[in-house]
Amino acid sequence: MRRVAWLACIATIAACGGTEEGFGSVVVDVDGETASREGWPVTADGETIGFVDGWSLSFDAVVVSLAEFTLATSGSRSAELASDPVVVDLHRGVPTAWTFEDVPARRWDRVSYRYVPPTAASRNVNGVDDGILEEMIAEGATLYLSGTATDGEETVTFAWPLAVRVLNTHCHSGVDDTDGMVVRRSGVSEAQLTIHLDHLFFDTYATDDADMRFEPVAAVADEDGHVTLDALSSQPLADLRDRDGEPLRDSSGVLVLYDPGPLALERDDLREYLLAAATTTGHFQGEGHCDYERE
């Protein structure tokens, strides 16, 4: 894909900075980390990440609908990338969402992208299931997760279209700890939009010592062992219940409390918590954070 402004730049190349900077290519991959492909628990760099309440989980699909990947500068200059809306399934690998040629080579310290609901015109990058895509369009969902979880005794399934529009802006690089990224002259620069799925299962956003839990989710499975997104509404954050309907306690006997911290919730229940948590999943170059704005 070429930059839409490229032809304009031929006529006014000095104004576009081309003669001084040169140009490079940018490849934008989307990665749901190992968990999107292998589930939890997962071991990476000698550290095992998983649910503290004994559940394991595997995904069947992790679909994200993205648009408007932008490179700009704090001085309001834009690379004017033409990034069409795409849908990707992160369970199926690490797809390349966009490749941009002839991007001015320089530091772009303002990187942003959006979670937007897909449309029939969205480009299906890596074989997103047609049925899932139709459901996402119908529900206005930007994220779609489906999978299976078990604690060794009980097995539950889930399929959640998450309707959260998010602007991820001012993205910080998890690679070199700087704002944005550098486009190298005459080379290929790699950008990665990293989707942190573990955020969906954190039990607190008030502190940085969150645990991942699944028991409050599994507790509202229907008689077929399926957990719908709406069923999570029946779990008040201040009074979470276990599958027997008793107050949910951790392994120490302490009541389990989910703390949304600064997350804005319309209601204090697990469904709203999950949707609010979904707004924080978008990262840049691995662990790099963005500013999240729910739209």
Partner 1 sequence: MEAEAGDADAVTLVLDPLDALRGHHAWVAGLARKDGEAIAFEGGLDIPDEGLARRVEDIPLGVELSRDGVLSIAVRPSRWLDGADFGRLSPAAGAGPRVITADGQVHNAWYLGARSPRAFEARFDEGDME
Q: Using CB under 8 A as the criterion, which residues of the chain lie in contact with partner 1 when the complex forms? A: 205-208, 236-239, 247, 254-255, 257, 259-262, 264-265, 268
Q: Pick the closer one to partner 1 by CB: 75 or 262.
A: 262
Q: Pick the closer one to partner 1 by CB: 82 or 257.
A: 257
CB of 36 to partner 1, least distance (A): 27
CB of 261 to partner 1, least distance (A): 5
CB of 264 to partner 1, least distance (A): 5
Q: Pick the closer one to partner 1 by CB: 25 or 233.
A: 233
Q: Pick the closer one to partner 1 by CB: 131 or 262.
A: 262
Q: Would you list the DSSP string of the chain?
A: -B-TTHHHHHHTHHHHTHHHH-EEEEEEEEE-HHHHHH-BSEEETTEEE-BTTS-EEEEEEEEEEEEEEEEE-TTS-B-------EEEEGGG---EEEEEEEEEPSEE-EEEEEE----TTSEE-S---HHHHHHHHHHT-SEEEEEEEE-SS-EEEEEEEE---EEEESPBPTTTSSBSEEPPTTSEEEEEEEE-GGGGGBSBSSSS---B--HHHHTT--TTSEE-TGGGGGSBGGG-B-TTSSBPB-TTSPBP--B-TT---SSSBHHHHHHHHHTT-EEETTTEE-EEEE-
CB of 55 to partner 1, least distance (A): 22
Q: Pick the closer one to partner 1 by CB: 141 or 167.
A: 167
CB of 208 to partner 1, least distance (A): 6
